Amino acid sequence: MSTSESSLPSRRQLFKSLGAATLAVVALPASNARQPAAAQGKAYRPSFFTPDEWAFVNAASARLIPHDSLGPGAVEAGVPEYIDRQMGTPWATGALWYMHGPFNADAPATLGYQSRLTPQEVYRLGIAAADGFVRQTQGKSFAQLAPDAQDTALRAIESGRAAFEPVPARLFFSMLLQSVREGFFADPVHGGNRGLVGWKLIGFPGARADFMDWVDRDVKYPLPPVALSGQRG
């Protein structure tokens, strides 16, 4: 997300332009893929986030990919559910990474993750810091702010102007944004992309057996996307 004043309302245009290549980074561990997503229409109950944290995740997701003329946004697509379920995976506890020192926050990205905090800790501490920052400046929690004020707060967090302790604001924002992107474009079996809205937005065929004949054609793929479960968009 850009920090320019006009970036937030048009960010779903960015996702539409990413194309099918985005799908390469949105898979959860196989153990989580066996857990069915909550049935559409049922209220999802988070297993990791507290009520206040859940309110933040929903509000922030709604601003990062809002409901607009292009279709449903992150909340309608079940992205908060995806993030909560993601917190129950080995990835979220740091079990898939080397998590011993020394840590170097200034190291290049090619050296991998450089924080001593697990994703679970980044989310828990980051949400608390974000709400604390907003309460100091606005007297309300993030979820209680008007959309424009939420956008302003997210810009401050993204840029690092919001001083967080003990998790860097930029680290928290980048992890949140990546999770929202993943939840919007992952297979619905992981809890997000409800109704295959993310795939329909970018024209991704999904888990069809073969669509290679259409890859090099400069035309819209004529068939709806298919999820791993067989669900059709």
Q: What is the pLDDT of residues 109-141, one digit of tens each?
A: 888 888 899 999 999 999 999 999 999 999 999
What pLDDT is recorded for position 209? Answer: 62
Helix (H, G, I), strand (E, B) or coil at 166: coil
What per-residue confidence (pLDDT) applies to 179?
97
For the entire predicted model, the pTM comes to 0.79
Q: How far apart are CA 99 and CA 117, in angstroms?
A: 8
Q: Token pair of 93, please?
A: 């506890």
Distance CA 194, CA 177 (A): 18
Ramachandran quadrant class, 36 (left: phi over 0; alpha: psi -120 to 50; beta: rest): beta
24-43 residues labelled b (16+ CB within 10 A) or e (exposed): eebebeeebeeeebeeeeee
Q: What is the pLDDT of residue 133?
A: 96
* pLDDT attached to residue 12: 54
- Distance, in Å, from the CA atom of 4 to the CA atom of 72, rounded to the nearest integer, reads 24
The whole-angstrom separation of Cα 180 and Cα 76 is 12
User: What is the rounded CA–CA span in Å between residue 8 and residue 65?
Assistant: 9
Convert the pLDDT of each residue in 178-207 to its tens digit: 999 999 999 999 999 999 999 899 888 877
pLDDT score at 208: 66
Enumerate residue ranges in the chain where pLDDT < 70. 1-42, 208-214, 221, 223, 228-230
pLDDT of residue 93: 96
* Residue-level pLDDT at 22: 46
Per-residue pLDDT at 121 = 98
